[in-house]
């Protein structure tokens, strides 16, 4: 079973023909994760980073990446059938964007990372006091673009772009608004925020837990009638 646990700060990088996926989570150490590329299971373990070959010997492209926490009893099972059929049916908002030093309008080529701001509730505009995530630029500290570096790309000659990704905590159904803002090594924000919106159609939440900590109770009438009755609490609405 896939657990409804938040996988955050999802970042993608490429090394040769491999895709490097890293993430963080508020789950305790020892939690079990699986990584799927285009709904294909490519990794499972207790870490927060994996390296998996890209399709077609590295020449292929991946249209979606899913990182999920799984129940220990299903750790070795392929749970691709439990993945949302499309990004819109997931309780998580997944953002991806291109970034590089060309985003610094001052010409100092000083970009340290990206802040993600979000709306407080679905249907509301972005609240720039609501910082929901942060993604560092240039994993490992290696700056691959800037004046005289890189090739033709999003920012023009010598100002190529890398791809970044981020995944939210589970959200309620509705349209959520986000803004991605680059910031420099002094913590100052640079350039114009990049807007994004994601429509969430979240599945029902797990049943609420009772006073005993369980979510499922049963009553058995005994050996005479041999009838078992199961009951559970309603799912939380938010």
CA distances from 225 to 79, 110, 216, 218 (A): 38, 75, 22, 15
CA dist 124 → 104, 127, 128, 132, 236 (Å):
29, 8, 12, 15, 22
Asked if residues 208 and 215 have their Cβ atoms less than 8 Å apart, the reply is: yes
In terms of pTM, does the model score above 0.85? no
Distance in angstroms (rounded) separating the CA atoms of residues 93 and 17: 27
pLDDT of res. 132: 93
Return per-residue pLDDT of the chain as tens, 238 residues. Answer: 787 766 777 777 777 778 888 888 878 888 899 998 888 899 999 889 988 887 765 445 666 788 888 888 888 888 888 876 654 456 778 888 878 777 777 777 788 889 999 999 999 999 999 999 998 887 655 565 655 544 444 555 555 567 788 888 878 888 999 999 999 888 999 888 999 988 887 666 666 777 776 777 777 777 667 777 877 777 665 5
Which of 72, 65, 57 minimizes the C-alpha distance to 20? Answer: 65
């Amino acid at each position: 079973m896939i657990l409804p646990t938040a996988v955050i700060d999802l970042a993608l990088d490429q090394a040769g023909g491999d895709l490097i996926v890293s993430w963080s989570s508020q789950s305790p150490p020892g939690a079990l994760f699986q990584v799927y590329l285009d709904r294909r299971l490519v990794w499972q373990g207790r870490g927060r980073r994996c390296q998996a070959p890209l399709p077609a010997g590295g020449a292929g492209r991946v249209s979606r990446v899913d990182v999920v926490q799984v129940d220990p009893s299903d750790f070795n099972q392929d749970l691709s059938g439990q993945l949302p059929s499309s990004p819109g049916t997931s309780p998580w908002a997944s953002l991806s964007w291109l970034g590089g030093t060309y985003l610094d309008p001052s010409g100092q080529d000083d970009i340290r990372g990206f802040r993600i701001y979000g709306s407080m509730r679905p249907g509301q505009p972005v609240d720039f006091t609501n910082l929901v995530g942060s993604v560092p630029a240039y994993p490992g500290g290696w700056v691959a673009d800037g004046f005289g570096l890189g090739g033709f790309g999003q920012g023009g000659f010598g100002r190529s772009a890398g791809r970044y990704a981020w995944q939210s905590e589970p959200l309620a159904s509705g349209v959520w608004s986000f803004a991605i803002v680059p910031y420099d090594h002094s913590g100052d924000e640079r350039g114009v925020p990049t807007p994004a919106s994601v429509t969430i159609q979240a599945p029902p939440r797990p049943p609420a837990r009772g006073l005993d900590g369980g979510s499922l109770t049963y009553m058995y009438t005994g050996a005479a009638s041999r009838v078992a009755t199961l009951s559970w609490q309603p799912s939380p609405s938010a």
